[in-house]
Amino acid sequence: MSEFAELKVDGNTYQLPIIEGTENEKAIDISKLRAESGLITIDPGFKNTGSTKSSITFLDGEKGILHHRGYSIEDLAEKSSFLEVAYLLIYGRLPTAEEFKAYKEEVTLHTLIHEDFHKILDGFPSAAHPMGVLSSLVTAMTAFYPKSLDPNRSWDEVNLSIIRIIAKMPTMAAFAYKNKIGHPLVYPDNRLDYTSNFLHMMFGLPSQPYDVNPAVSAALDKLLILHADHEQNCSTSTVRVVGSSQASLYSSISAGINALWGPLHGGANQAVIEMLENIKADGGDTKKWMAKAKDKDDPFRLMGFGHRVYKNFDPRARIIKKAADDVLDSLGVTDPVLDIAKGLEHEALNDQYFVDRKLYPNVDFYSGIIYRALGIPTEMFTVMFAMGRLPGWIAQWREMRENKEPIGRPRQVYTGETIRPYPGS
Ligand code: CMC
């Protein structure tokens, strides 16, 4: 393949370098186009725009491939723990046994949050959505650790900020939930592993020990792995853009949590279960809801279907679907919405509208069913996604900083009024 693409405009020819990634992905580099020609490119929603070169995650949407740092998501989901995957994403390689032991100890050392966080929590009404509470608590970390405000400090200091948020995220997530239901907070039990500790804080009571079911903990750990990174998605791009202004790690992550919250992104897991519940309450007529999803005058979309990048299948959805069956079996739970989900999936996969648009179940279609079986309330589903995505956000923030990327600042084509006289002048 040639090293340049040629663009001809008004009799002028511009040579645009072609760059190639390690998996042979090719891109036309237009970064100097405006300086040379005065032209910009336009691509609403960045559907065909690469914002960075990254060595963290490789994704092939046509083939349904997802790799982190060269390891397949299937291998990681089967063989790793979430904390190991976090290490892999953030530090670039899997830890040795000794490194991992030291890492776990370090994370464990920081699981508590400052008692003054309780005052912030107390200020939230019980109707507060836990995602809003979580993003506020993450921003509040800047107040408790003011040195974290400067991302240009030494690596050891930046790494301490990273360790702190990895350690405290489950504590803040569980506290957001306890505060919502008006129950007393349960402090971390540092004898437990990362995911079991979260379950202990979420479902335990201060007055009595809580026995974490290892099957539940293993299932949740796998779900966290499946959400750990997904290259330049909406929330990750948000984290990188916010961080590119040299805002702190915690402010960047908090922005990512807010971006994730929307129902077209991470909020879809809550929206899927609400949709399935609605269909059930409405008599379970999946055909009626399929027709609504296809009707362009109806804003309803089949939540949990479609993906910006995956156009054949979402490899995470395959793993999750199997995990959902395993979890329901092992816990002896029967969930009527699972049948509705399977019915909808079957119809959509055989429906011309969905086939033509390459709309397949995504990661969020079955994750909510597992969360429900594990006893996690619906409003906490997207918080689970945020806990899982945290290492990806951190790794991408770190990479953006280390690549010394410029501030994120897209251009536009102006379509408003041209200059006109001010009334009365
Ligand atoms: N139900 C019905 N029609 C759909 C759906 C859906 N879920 N998704 C896309 N379409 C149609 C859309 O109307 C459009 O049709 P047409 O070409 O006739 O105008 C076509 O498919 C392409 O859709 P798009 O909105 O242009 O595609 P996009 O890449 O901008 O959006 C998406 C991707 C995920 C936002 C979208 O598929 C969607 O809204 N899905 C439902 C929400 C959801 O499940 N989100 C979770 C995504 S996976 C988790 C994560 O990583 O965040």
Closest CA to 118 of 64, 57, 171: 171
Which residues are known to be catalytic?
A: 307, 364
pLDDT at 383 over 90: yes
Average pLDDT value over all residues in the chain: 94
Rounded CA separation 32/35 (Å): 5
pLDDT tens-digit map of 136-166: 999 999 999 999 999 999 999 999 999 999 9
pTM: 0.95
Query: What atom of ligand 1 comes closest to residue 293's alpha carbon?
Result: 2
Ligand 1 close to Cβ of residue 222 (< 6 A)? no
Q: What is the mean pLDDT of residues 330-345?
A: 86
Ligand 1 close to Cβ of residue 303 (< 6 A)? yes
pLDDT at 25: 94
Question: How many percent of the chain have pLDDT more than 90?
Answer: 84
Q: Sorting pLDDT into bands at 50, 70 and 90, what band is 398?
A: very high
| Distance in Å, CA 313 to ligand 1 centroid | 14
pLDDT at 1: 67
Domains of the chain: 4-66 (2.20.28), 71-210+250-259+382-402 (1.10.580.10)
**Ligand 1, atom 45: nearest CA belongs to which residue?**
264
More confident residue, 22 or 180: 22
Cβ(249)–Cβ(407) under 8 Å?
no
**Ligand 1, atom 21: nearest CA belongs to which residue?**
357
More confident residue, 302 or 321: 302
Query: What atom of ligand 1 comes closest to residue 309's alpha carbon?
Result: 29
pLDDT tens-digit map of 64-108: 999 999 999 999 999 999 999 999 999 999 999 999 999 999 999
> Ligand 1 pocket test: which of 307, 349, 363, 381 has the largest number of ligand atoms within 8 Å of its C-beta?
307
pLDDT at 207 over 90: no
Per-residue b or e along 184-193, where b marks 16 or more CB atoms closer than 10 Å to that residue's CB = ebbbbebebb
| Distance in Å, CA 307 to ligand 1 centroid | 6
Ligand 1 close to Cβ of residue 266 (< 6 A)? yes
pLDDT tens-digit map of 279-311: 999 998 999 999 999 999 999 999 999 999 998
| The pairing of beta strand 12-20 with beta strand 4-9 | antiparallel
pLDDT at 307: 93
> Ligand 1 pocket test: which of 362, 366, 367 has the largest number of ligand atoms within 8 Å of its C-beta?
362
Q: What is the mean pLDDT of residues 235-241?
A: 98
Query: What atom of ligand 1 comes closest to residue 301's alpha carbon?
Result: 1
Cβ neighbours of residue 283 closer than 8 Å, sequence gap 6 or more = none
pLDDT at 339: 85
Q: What is the mean pLDDT of residues 328-353?
A: 88
pLDDT at 373: 87
